[in-house]
Chain A
Amino acid sequence: MSENGYKSGSNLEKVLKAGHFAFTGECGPPKGANVAHLKEKMEPLRGMVDAINVTDNQTAVVRMSSKAASCLMVQAGLEPNFQMVCRDRNRIAMQSDILGASALGIRNMLCLSGDHQSFGNHPESKNVFDIDSMQLIALVKKMRDEGRFLNDEEIDEPPKLFIGAASNPFGDPVDFRVYRLANKIDAGADFIQTQCIYNMPRFREFIKRAVDMGLTEKTYILAGVTPMKSAGMAKYMARSVPGMDVPADLIKRIEGAGKGKMAEEGIKFAIEQIQEFKEMKGVAGVHLMAIEWEHKVPEIAERAGMLPRPKVD
């Protein structure tokens, strides 16, 4: 731990540690070297969130690297949450990128397994999975806290990163999910961002189990929210996204809003969720994944009463 008592000193860490209800956003890098496009997507999030997740070739589709896009955010005065998946890099490249990210001023890192390459635009590629997400979490922690590489060699200057991990409360087998969360916390996750939540009763049950097991005392859990743009999107997510639970009555509600009003209904539901999460024991914040809808974040943040964002020194 660094001299000021912070693990990385990221804004997200400070906000959470000060006891504020955190609010993070997300930004997928462009399919090209187009910096202007990236800026267009990240600028609406300025001042609206405490950190911005930068996805790592999400759904296995090639995009600008998450490290480069995170670095561009740092340069623009925004705080990235650098995502890294296990699909594309072996432990040599991972450790190298972890050091590189820290050297570039990146202070948050989310450790993920990654969607299988068969989903993406290069299904012919070799999958790596040298280590898994659990081992990646432990690796970053070891590098940061022990100042050692995976092979125990000393690092001359350890990386400073606030370590994040994902949790899917709705993945099968459901009874095991809270234990997998516990494993990630034991491995070293400082904060957790959950999969998009639509089934509130099931999430309430999940978080209650996490609270009962004392997990929410050991880590910060940020509840995942993705506003639905349309009934079509809701149906697609229900049908085609593995591990996603979209209740039929929510689809009905969005559909029921009628043409031209579905997006507003989706936003309304997201705001209701955020307001409930603010009061929910064990939830330390919200992770808002407004997929290709970054410009709507200010409006959602405002209406959900998330503004202004706290400043912690």
Chain B
Amino acid sequence: MIIADRKPLQEIQEMIKPYDKVMLVGCKGCVTVCNAGGLKEVQILASTLRIARKKEGRPLVVEERMLERQCDPEYIEQLRDSYDQYDAVLSMACGVGPQFLSEAYPSQRFFPTVNTKFMGGAVQHGIWEERCAGCGTCIIHHFDGMCPIARCSKSLQHGPCGGSAGGLCEVSKEIVCIWDLIVRKKIEQGRLDDLRKYWAAKDWRTARDGGPRKSIREELVK
């Protein structure tokens, strides 16, 4: 799923400073699962914003809403009747949400309240890690189910670099050297010869480097 973190409160407050009545829209997709923009987070942020503004003597009306998903026009449509009754709309979805909202309702102003970070999963309760860089050409089967593109700080296809020490990446002691894990697994399974193979330079056109991407499923297009 897509992992996001809520923006610092101050930054959100700064965004909506000129407004007195806003709608805060959560999403039941990824951000609900990663506890960044689900119902609970919408409620917490809404009350925090209200309390803070009340203290300033300039009360803020915050309407709380939840959408099934903000990456689907069908659900975005559900705000058609209400979007223009507010000075601004805050989205708690990933970066897709505020953009789909803006596209559907060009006259309204939309603000992101989370920073969208990566594609990954929960490794333990409250901790999420990146697993996929969305490069568009999956090669994890060559590396025993571990992606060096997303998980090596240098995206090396022929690692580990000289900075790997004690199973950790040179960049930070918080980062596991994925190449260390790949090599150890190959040695354990007696398949070290796999790592004698040379991989040609990657074609990055399928990644973001080829420009913004699109996926067309012909059979679904009417």
A242-254 vs B, CB cutoff 8 Å, 1 = contact: the mask equals 1100000000000
- Whether A263 sits at the interface, judged by CB under 8 Å, is no
- Beyond A91-B201, A134-B198, A243-B165, whether A129 also contacts B154 by CB under 8 A is yes
Bound-state CA distance A139–B199 (Å) is 12
A131-162 vs B, CB cutoff 8 Å, 1 = contact: the mask equals 11111001100000000001000000000000
In the complex, how many angstroms separate the beta carbon of B177 from the nearest chain A beta carbon? 7
- Whether B146 sits at the interface, judged by CB under 8 Å, is no
B150-186 vs A, CB cutoff 8 Å, 1 = contact: the mask equals 0001111111111111110011100001001001100
- Chain A residue with the shortest CB-CB distance to B192: A179
Bound-state CA distance A167–B160 (Å) is 11
Cβ–Cβ contact A183 & B198, under 8 A: yes
Cβ–Cβ contact B196 & A134, under 8 A: no
- Chain A residue with the shortest CB-CB distance to B195: A179
Cβ–Cβ contact B154 & A134, under 8 A: no
Across-interface contacts of B127 in A (CB, < 8 A): none
Cβ–Cβ contact B154 & A132, under 8 A: yes
B170's contact among A86, A116, A186, by CB below 8 Å, is which?
A: A116
Bound-state CA distance A135–B166 (Å) is 25
- Whether A255 sits at the interface, judged by CB under 8 Å, is no
- Whether B15 sits at the interface, judged by CB under 8 Å, is no
Best-buried of B183, B201, B204 by chain A (most CB within 10 Å)? B201
Cβ–Cβ contact A176 & B183, under 8 A: yes
Cβ–Cβ contact B158 & A134, under 8 A: yes
Across-interface contacts of B157 in A (CB, < 8 A): 132, 134-135
- Whether A264 sits at the interface, judged by CB under 8 Å, is no
- Whether B200 sits at the interface, judged by CB under 8 Å, is yes
Across-interface contacts of B196 in A (CB, < 8 A): 179, 182-183, 186
> How many chain-B residues does the 8 Å CB contact rule pick out?
32
User: Is the interface on chain A under 10, 10 to 19, 20 to 34, or 35 or more residues?
Assistant: 35 or more
- Chain A residue with the shortest CB-CB distance to B177: A172
B3-25 vs A, CB cutoff 8 Å, 1 = contact: the mask equals 00000000000000000000000
- Beyond A118-B171, A179-B192, A186-B198, whether A172 also contacts B154 by CB under 8 A is no
Which residues of chain A (115-136) have a CB below 8 Å from chain B? Answer: 115-116, 118-119, 127, 129-135
A171's contact among B165, B172, B200, by CB below 8 Å, is which?
A: B165
In the complex, how many angstroms separate the beta carbon of A271 from the nearest chain B beta carbon? 25
Across-interface contacts of A207 in B (CB, < 8 A): none
Cβ–Cβ contact B171 & A135, under 8 A: no
- Whether A195 sits at the interface, judged by CB under 8 Å, is yes
Which residues of chain A (178-192) have a CB below 8 Å from chain B? Answer: 179-180, 182-183, 186-187
Cβ–Cβ contact A176 & B187, under 8 A: yes
Across-interface contacts of A183 in B (CB, < 8 A): 158, 195-196, 198
Cβ–Cβ contact B164 & A172, under 8 A: yes
In the complex, how many angstroms separate the beta carbon of A263 from the nearest chain B beta carbon? 26
A135's contact among B158, B165, B170, by CB below 8 Å, is which?
A: B158
- Whether A287 sits at the interface, judged by CB under 8 Å, is no
Bound-state CA distance A2–B162 (Å) is 33
Across-interface contacts of A166 in B (CB, < 8 A): 162
Across-interface contacts of B165 in A (CB, < 8 A): 171-172, 242-243
- Whether A175 sits at the interface, judged by CB under 8 Å, is yes
Given contacts A127-B153, A129-B155, A186-B198, 10 further A-B contacts (CB under 8 A): A133-B156, A134-B199, A139-B201, A167-B162, A172-B160, A172-B165, A173-B187, A176-B187, A183-B196, A242-B163
**B residues neighboring A (CB under 8 Å):** 153-167, 170-172, 177, 180, 183-184, 187, 192, 195-196, 198-202, 204
Ranked 3 nearest A-B pairs via Cβ: A168-B162, A134-B158, A242-B170
Can you offer 6 A-B residue contacts whose CB atoms are under 8 A? A115-B163, A115-B170, A135-B200, A135-B201, A150-B201, A171-B163
